[in-house]
């Protein structure tokens, strides 16, 4: 082996996603009781999205920060988006089943400002999904 410096490479350091905003996307409750307060955290600059597709991406993560319900909620979340710079658009639909209203949707709109609409359908699992289903809509913007 000849003397000299070796060449090495390293994996880039993971960068934290950027919290853009937190939206309120409240929904009527399919169970008796008050409306469900739903907070949606909007992140951008995500190099490794949870859906496994290449980044960067915008990630929407919802939670209602409440005590778990007796029954499971069944949730269908549909997010329609439009990149205002390129004109690209798309829709992502994610089904979820959990004791609290929670879901995550990753968007891959390309670079530029993005407008999106969140459509939530929330029911309960009582032998079949979506019993007493309610719907709600909200929206926001982020830059990819």
* One-character DSSP codes across 51-95: TSS-S-EEEEEEE---PPPSSPEEEEEEEEEEETTT--EEEEEEE
123, 142, 135, 105: which is closest to 27 by C-alpha? Answer: 135
Residue 9 domain-assigned (yes or no): no
Residue 6 lies in a domain: no
Structure tokens at 64: 């209602």
For residue 41, pLDDT over 80 is answered with: yes
Are residues 122 and 100 in contact, defined by beta-carbon separation less than 8 angstroms? no
Q: How many domains does the chain have?
A: 1
pTM: 0.86
User: In this structure, is residue 11 part of a structural domain?
Assistant: no
- DSSP helix/strand/coil, 140: strand
Q: For residue 81, is it within any domain? A: yes
In a domain, 4, yes or no: no
Q: How confident is the model over 78-100, as pLDDT tens digits? A: 999 999 999 999 999 999 999 99
* Averaged pLDDT, 62-70: 85
- Residue 8 included in any domain: no
- pLDDT for 69: 80
**Which tokens sit at 89?**
């658009």
* CATH value at residue 45: 2.60.40.1470
104 in any annotated domain = yes
Parent domain of 24: 18-143
- In-domain check, residue 65: yes
């Amino acid at each position: 082996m000849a003397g000299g410096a070796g060449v090495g490479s390293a994996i880039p350091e993971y960068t934290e996603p950027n919290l853009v905003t937190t939206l309120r996307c409240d929904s009527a409750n399919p169970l008796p009781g008050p409306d469900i307060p739903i907070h949606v955290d909007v992140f951008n600059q995500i190099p490794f999205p949870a859906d496994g597709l290449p980044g960067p991406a915008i990630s929407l993560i919802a939670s209602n920060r409440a005590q778990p319900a007796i029954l499971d909620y069944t949730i269908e979340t549909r997010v329609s988006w439009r990149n205002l710079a390129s004109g690209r658009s798309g829709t992502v639909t994610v089904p979820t089943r959990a004791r609290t209203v929670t879901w995550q949707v990753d968007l891959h709109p390309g670079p530029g400002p993005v407008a999106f609409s969140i459509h939530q359908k929330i029911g309960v699992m009582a032998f079949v999904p979506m019993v007493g289903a309610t719907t709600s809509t909200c929206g926001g913007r982020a830059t990819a």
